[in-house]
Structure 1
Amino acid sequence: MFTKKEIFSIPNILCYFRIGLVPIFLYTYFTAEGSEGHMISAGILILSSLSDFFDGFIARKYDMITELGKLIDPVADKLTQFVVACTLMYTYPAYSWLVAIIVLKDGMLLFVGWFIYRKKGKHLAQAEMPGKIATAVFFVVSILLIAFYIPGTMISTVMIYSTVVLMIIAMIYYSQGLYRLYKEN
């Protein structure tokens, strides 16, 4: 199925690393005591984000894109995003909106995308700019809110709802793309 070279390519190892950081993030976040603990949690999320950037960069630059990477990279991305959103929901209740949007958007991409693929043999491109921007803002906002721990403040509310708006825009963009793909001959 997958060759040893594919399994142990540097970009794929970075994906495994990112998946491994998820339980470490959870542990550090929920056991954080004081600003140092929150900074450690934020640092783990920064490390995860950097590994995501470098796995894509290395894969493209050195022609190391693999079928396994195409499968595992989005899993690592979505798992990290979903866990971070669910985790922050405990401290910042407005994150429940982000959890709902993530579930709706990714559910739509998975199920409607699968339906269209089965019917027409076509699928959307991996990630489009509105989705990339929304995801980048999500992680920047999440890192800042973890690092500075400012629940119940106006700035945290503005940051979260700005992210919600960007996520909704990305969801609408992807739904339009799925609709156009469905209508193609």
Structure 2
Amino acid sequence: MLSGLTDLADGYIARRFHMISNLGKILDPVADKLTQAAMLICLFTRFPHMLPLIVIMAVKELYMAVSGCLVIRKTGKVHGADWHGKIVTFLLYGTVAVHIIWFHITPMVSDLLIGLCAIMMVVSVVLYIIKNTRTLRGETA
């Protein structure tokens, strides 16, 4: 959770002082995803239903890495996260926080949060697939 808070502070500082770079646009999401994966894997030991989030996240991030490199190679530009990616991050951190704070979370609430997060992850990857495919074909949005 502390890593997530420092990520927010880092983003604020970068924008506030105009210190945004292409390298930062690449490294920041990698650090975020490593943090998120570590949180999910730790929670998986207590909540086995976290497995779909881990699998979806792994597939999504593998796709994002490959397609992101292809987009950078074609356009020379590094694109930031879209609105749906930010919603996924918010839902993921919220889901993790609730599972950490509410030690005896009911299975129904746990599954509901995990399911909502999983659905939004799938929606997000589909939207990224559409966007990146259009970009690689040279189509405008």
Per the TM superposition, whether the score is higher than 0.5 is: yes
Which residue pairs with 1:154 in the alignment? Answer: 108
The 5 A counterparts of 1:22-33 are none
Which residue pairs with 2:38 in the alignment? Answer: 83
Please tell me the root mean square deviation across aligned C-alpha atoms, in Å.
1.9
Which residue pairs with 1:54 in the alignment? Answer: 9
**Structure 1 unaligned runs (5+)?**
1-44
> What letter is aligned with 1:182?
L
TM-score (norm 2): 0.88
Q: Offset at 1:95?
A: 1.0
CA contact (8 A) 1:91 1:151 kept: no
**Identity in percent:** 31
> What letter is aligned with 1:70?
K
Would you say 1:173 and 2:127 are equivalent positions? yes
> What letter is aligned with 1:58?
I
Moved over 4 A (4+): none
Cα separation, partners in 2 of 1:155 and 1:127, compared to 1, 3 Å: same
Q: Offset at 1:173?
A: 1.0
Aligned length: 139
Which residue pairs with 1:69 in the alignment? Answer: 24
Structure 1 SS opposite 2:81: coil
Would you say 1:136 and 2:90 are equivalent positions? yes
Partner Cα distance (2:77, 2:61) in 1: 14
CA contact (8 A) 1:124 1:178 kept: no
CA contact (8 A) 2:44 2:51 kept: yes
**Deviations 1:117-159, CA, capped at 9 Å, x for gaps:** 33x2345621000010011110011011011123661111111
Cα separation, partners in 2 of 1:117 and 1:173, compared to 1, 3 Å: same
> What letter is aligned with 2:16?
K
Structure 2 SS opposite 1:126: coil
Partner Cα distance (1:65, 1:55) in 2: 10
TM-score (norm 1): 0.68
**Deviations 1:75-125, CA, capped at 9 Å, x for gaps:** 21011011111121111112110111111111001112223433x234562
Which residue pairs with 1:163 in the alignment? Answer: 117
Partner Cα distance (2:14, 2:100) in 1: 30
Partner Cα distance (1:129, 1:184) in 2: 22
Q: Which structure has the bigger radius of gyration?
A: 1
Would you say 1:110 and 2:65 are equivalent positions? yes
